Amino acid sequence: MSKRFNDTGLCIPSRHYMVDTSQKIEQIIHLIEDGQYFTINRPRQFGKTTTLALLTKKLNQRPDYVALKISFEGIGDTPFASEQAFAPMLLRIMGQSVKVIYPEMASYLEQASREVHNLEELSNFISEYMAWANKKVVLLIDEVDKSSNNQIFLHFLGMLRHKYLLQNEEQDITFKSVILVGVHDIKTLKAKIRPDAEQKYNSPWNIAIDFKVDLSFSATEIESMLQDYSQEKGIQPNIPAIAKQLYYYTSGYPYLVSKLCKFIDEDIIPTRQDQNWTVDDVEAAFKMIVNEGYTTTLFDSLAKNLENNPDLYDLVFQVVVNGQRLPFSIIDPMVNLGYLYGILVQAEQGHCQIHNRIFEQRIYGYMMSKYLRHEKYREVNGLGGPTFYNATGLDVKLVLQHFQAFMKENYAHRDTRFLEREGRLLFLSFLKPIINGKGFDFKEPNVGDERRMDIVIIHKTKRYVIELKIWRGEQYHQAGLQQLSDYLDIYGLTEGYLLIYDFNKGKTYKEEQIEFADKQIFAVWV
């Protein structure tokens, strides 16, 4: 059976094309060998379960280790009702995890499940089990978010913490390492350990070290998957260039890398005779995944997390739509939440940035669709049509001229505060129906300052760059032209567009064709 690119559930090396993550696995094993307890907290569909499966297999291949990989998913709430229910359930699941490779150990754990009735007895049995196994036992608990708000489970973590501390004092024996896997970092969870009147709060997992292994894929790591694919298919694509472009759009988010590759392999390549992949194929796959008519559970979760957290929605809106540079600090609970959900990362300059260009585009499209339904934007909506297209593509100059006329007619007398706040949204709302179904626009996440936003429009194979700026004098204007010129160089373009919001009284609605360096820049003032 031939391999395929997998975008659902666990990735299996014999069945799926996979990135070589052996170096990441070795980094994790070093932590285990040091006897560390830690949490692997990463966003959804970030390869956590696959990493855990590979790690478990690697550990169980060693004669001195036993890896017990368990999950409480699918067992319901009954086992968490009491210690008497939880303790035997845990031992049964542990036994099931090793029944194929260690049947004798599985029987030993199954027998213990009938004799252990509470956490105290469970603690004593764990010590006995370590001596009986005569191996370094590692406990790995997947999907831990589903249990993190359960009092019995938190008591269990507290028990493991206590045994860990006693083991360091040579007063007990327990697991070599315990790894909790989920979206949230349980080490920082402030859980009510004792349900007393004082409501005393503590962390059940403050013994855990920070987990710093990068589970995202680098461009070089993506190459390993493409090499495997190319060898099996007998093709010779430009693997480094394709891997670089895949990383450009995904920032190494594992699910997104696999999804783009799946689009290319199953939807794009079958439409032509030449089976070699190209960088243009990555572009085509990007257009498919950001199409607002396409959705996945990951994108649904992305929208849900924003809707369920209004403060996070507002923060992300300021970054995506208004192009603001907000400081990245996980001390800020909303920044931390955005980071946990995989929405926000820290840019090199230290500000908040959307994790990848696909998320950037999906969030932008989602937020704009909401604003286009607002009454105050209805007069802007519905202005699309063939008027703005000619034989060479989209006529951006005409788009800007029409927007200028629209603003002069409808917003010439609005107050400055409103225009500063709503000006960008007005243009984006004006632009959206024009390109809807014909192309798409996105904000480049790596460029922008607090008062500036670059928009890249892609129509067929052409790119158009529009920079939005506020007029703050000639010196600032020249600096903006230089920035736009530098940005055009990134795409190898010689033409760019500048939309300038002038909030001075007595301003002139003008347009200007500017020659700057080797660029032709068309600018309009509104």
Residue 426 pLDDT greater than 50, yes or no: yes
Based on the fold, state whether residues 38 and 169 are members of the same structural domain: yes
Quote the percentage of the chain above a pLDDT of 70: 89
- Domain boundaries, position 180: 22-202
Domain contains 335? no
Give yes or no: residues 260 and 399 share one domain: no
Model pLDDT, residue 383: 55
Question: What mean pLDDT comes out for the span 122-130?
Answer: 97
pLDDT at 3: 93
d(CA 488, CA 87): 63
pLDDT grade, residue 437 (50/70/90)? Answer: low
Q: Is pLDDT at 204 greater than 90 in this prediction?
A: no
Domain for residue 308, yes or no? no
Q: Are residues 52 and 168 in the same domain?
A: yes
Same domain for 128 and 231, yes or no, is no
Confidence of residue 463 (pLDDT cuts 50, 70, 90): confident
- pLDDT tier, 376 (very low <50, low <70, confident <90, very high otherwise): low
* Domain shared by 178 and 263, yes or no: no
Percent composition of the chain: helix, strand, coil (DSSP 3-state, to 5): 50, 15, 35
Residue 88 lies in a domain: yes
The verdict on residue 242 lying in a domain is yes
Nearest CA to 37 out of 132, 163, 128, 219 is that of: 163
Statement: residue 445 has pLDDT above 70:
no
Does the pLDDT value for residue 403 go beyond 70?
Answer: yes
Does 286 lie in the same domain as 258? yes
Task: Report angle CA 429, 386, 358 to the nearest 5 degrees.
Answer: 45
Residues 49 and 189 in one domain: yes
Which residue, 256, 248, 281, is CA-closest to 267?
Answer: 281
Residue 415 pLDDT grade (very low, low, confident, very high; cuts 50, 70, 90):
low
Condensed to tens digits (0 to 9), the pLDDT of residues 28-58 reads: 999 999 999 999 999 999 999 999 999 999 9
277: left (phi over 0), alpha (psi -120 to 50) or beta: beta
Q: Find the distance separating the first CA and the last CA of the chain, reported in whole Å.
A: 61
115 shares its domain with 246: no
Least confident of 187-191, 277-281, 380-384, 492-496: 187-191
Q: Are strands 462-470 and 453-459 parallel, antiparallel or unpaired?
A: antiparallel
Instruction: Check residue 446 and give its pLDDT.
Output: 46
342, part of any domain:
no
Q: Pick the closest to residue 445 from 378, 334, 361 (CA basis).
A: 361
The answer to whether the CB of 354 falls within 8 A of the CB of 344 is: yes
CATH code, 186: 3.40.50
Tell me, yes or no, whether 235 and 184 share the same domain: no
Task: Please enumerate, as own/partner, the contacts of 273-278 that have beta carbons within 8 Å and a separation of 24 or more.
Answer: 275/233, 275/235, 276/235, 276/236, 276/237, 277/226, 277/235, 277/237, 277/242, 278/237, 278/238, 278/242
Residue 451 pLDDT: 41
Residues with Cβ < 8 Å from 92, sequence gap 6 or more?
109, 110, 113
If one counts every other C-beta atom within 10 angstroms of the C-beta of residue 481, the result is 20
pTM: 0.85
Q: What is the mean pLDDT of residues 351-375?
A: 85
In the prediction, which pLDDT does 231 show? 95
- What is the overall mean pLDDT for the chain? 87
Are 239 and 177 part of one and the same domain?
Answer: no
Among residues 257, 290, 323, which one ends one of the domains? 290
- Tell me what the mean pLDDT of segment 325-331 comes to: 90
